Structure 1
Amino acid sequence: MTTELPRIISVDDHVIEPAHLFAAWLPEKYRDRGPKPLTAGIGELAYVGGKYRITMDPDGPPTDWWIYEDLQFPYKRNIAAVGFSRDEMTLEGITRAQMRPGCWDPAERLKDMDLNHVEASLCFPTFPRFCGQTFAEAHDKEVALACVRAYNDWMVEEWCGDSGGRLIPLCLIPLWDVDLAVAEIRRNAARGVRAVTFSEIPTHLGLPSIHSGHWDPFFRACEETGTVVAMHIGSSSQMPAASPDAPPAVQATLSFNNAMASMTDFLFSGVLVRFPRLKLAYAEGQMGWIPYALERADDVWAEHRAWGGVRDTVPEPPSTYYYRQIFCCFFRDRHGVASLDAVGRDNATFETDYPHVDSTFPHTKEVALDHVRGLDEETVYKLLRGNAIRMLDLDLDLDLDQDLDQDLDLDQDPDQDPGR
């Protein structure tokens, strides 16, 4: 079968915040108490029990840091890995000058997207962490709220502002106050923002659970404004691990577990029943695990819903709500593509994870082609582009004939790579 590979819309990339962000966007009265950039040496980084221990060392390699209250936050090479070989993608510190400029410069990011067959990109934060935990943990909540708003203003007006819609804004909320969160959702939705990042498991952050009803005003505001609730692996500040002395490779392999736990939590919470137009998106969790998770959830609902506590709150099989309201994404998951009918051809989206160590840059076209080879043209379009447009309500043409740039043979030998 011969078809065309559409330009990709990536629903999970990342931005390294520029050093001027808070000096430029935080109101002047808060700047002395807000985050400040610093270049200083870094000590040896230890990984103990699933958490990193980081220290400054005047004699260590130069590293760019953020200093905020009692937090010292360094940028590490594995989160700005594009341009390095696999053996160089370490946990060593890094400065912005050593990074590929597309990590933090929006004009350079657009150039890298062009090199990578990507039309549009949704970027998660780095220093604020994946859902703004940095500000939720701050002592001075007045300054923290100003920082959340400043980050969102920078995201909308500077990072995305001159991109012609190619850089898609993803905003934060003040996690510690649901009423303030609702106000921030509405403030950003009024200027066209259609995605907010949230914790996959808020109880890991010491916040109320999604079962408590605490978050219902937030979910209602997202539903009413068409704002997608985007949850990245690690957005609960706790990654799955086995033995406390296991190497980071164990954590990296098990990273999808948080997405699976979170999705199951939502499916049995009643949230998707109460808010039937709410959209959830799971980032970087891949999708090969989804078919069995749905099968098991439906079996539990069918056999155990009375004693399982969901007889009156979940009136239909849980998979009903998944197919109606939840999106997953992938970038290396052949098993998930092989199980696409169960995953949902309308539920799967694509990502490049730029500039992290897992990123497919600059070979995303080849990676995508390898995954979709043999699929029909409509499905290829949905996975690489169409489902993201629908999920984020993007102002892009959903017609299959639009934005396709090159004939590619999806049945060719994968070693005959047309994208190089």
Structure 2
Amino acid sequence: WHPMWEPLWRAVNDVSLPLHFHTFPSLPQSVRDRQTGLTRRAAFFTSVAGFQMNLVNILAAVIGAGVLERYPNIRISFGESGIGWIPYALDRMDFEWEDRFRDLGLKMRPSEYWRRQCKATFQFDPIGTKLIDDIGVETLMWGSDYPHPDGVWPQSSKYIAEQFGHLPPDVVSKITCENAGKFYGLIN
């Protein structure tokens, strides 16, 4: 939301470059490093378990500051973000905008900016895959996080079958292939 980012938003918009925000720890590394034993493990657990939740602040900032309103060519991906949190965050932003923040200059509900300009990537999120209609199938991109050790590779096929087994093949194809291809301009 800070005006110092305006040149970045303008440049990204002008060249239609995909912009990525990756998950990040909820605790600084220095805090975890000062701990020992089980306290250190608990601090690491806290950090890892809260990775995705920090992205709500970034999403709310780019929407609430009107970045996506002013720059409709910006396309944002929230990497390794999980997806189960998204319906709640969008519902909350829509409610707050309707209730107290109509003065922000947004011409659409926050959830409409999400559907128009944002995507999220995830490896395994069985809760999120139950909420695809609320999130928007066109906003989802599956990834294996290869070659990171916390990713699902080399069991990618197993994870795809397990969490997408209840979905029609065309929806699975969109999430596992087509949406990313379109986002990166590899397919039309």
What is the TM-score when the length of structure 1 is the normalising length? 0.41
Q: Quote the residue 1:370 is aligned against.
A: 162
Following superposition of structure 1 onto structure 2, how do residues 17-416 of structure 1 map, counting pairs within 5 Å? Answer: 211-234=1-24, 239-241=25-27, 245=39, 246-305=42-101, 311-394=103-186, 396=187
Deviation at 1:214, TM superposition (A): 2.0
Letter of the 1:288 partner, please give it: G
Q: Which 4+ runs in 1 deviate beyond 4 A?
A: 242-245
Deviation at 1:314, TM superposition (A): 1.8
2:182 partner SS:
helix
Q: Quote the residue 1:189 is aligned against.
A: none
Output the CA distance in 2 between the equivalents of 1:313 and 1:284: 30
Structure of larger gyration radius: 1
1:327 partner SS:
strand
1:358 partner SS:
coil
Distance 1:321 1:369, change over 3 A: same
Deviation at 1:313, TM superposition (A): 2.2
Q: Quote the residue 2:36 is aligned against.
A: none
Unaligned runs of 5+ in 2: 33-38
Structure with the higher helix share, 1 or 2: 2
Output the CA distance in 2 between the equivalents of 1:265 and 1:326: 13
Tell me which moved more, 240-249 or 290-299.
240-249
Output the CA distance in 2 between the equivalents of 1:260 and 1:350: 19
Output the CA distance in 2 between the equivalents of 1:219 and 1:334: 33
1:240 partner SS:
coil
Q: Percent identity?
A: 25
Unaligned runs of 5+ in 1: 1-210, 399-420
Output the CA distance in 1 between the equivalents of 2:164 and 2:57: 27
Deviation at 1:223, TM superposition (A): 1.8
Structure with the higher strand share, 1 or 2: 1
Q: Quote the residue 1:33 is aligned against.
A: none
Q: Quote the residue 1:116 is aligned against.
A: none
Q: Is the 8 A contact 2:66 2:104 kept in 1?
A: no
**Number of equivalenced pairs:** 178
Output the CA distance in 1 between the equivalents of 2:55 and 2:147: 21
Give the RMSD, CA atoms, in angstroms: 1.8
Q: Quote the residue 1:139 is aligned against.
A: none
Deviation at 1:257, TM superposition (A): 1.4
1:247 partner SS:
helix
CA deviation map 1:211-266 (0-9, x unaligned):
232222222222222210011112xxxx2149975431121111111212211111
Output the CA distance in 1 between the equivalents of 2:2 and 2:150: 35
Output the CA distance in 2 between the equivalents of 1:225 and 1:316: 24
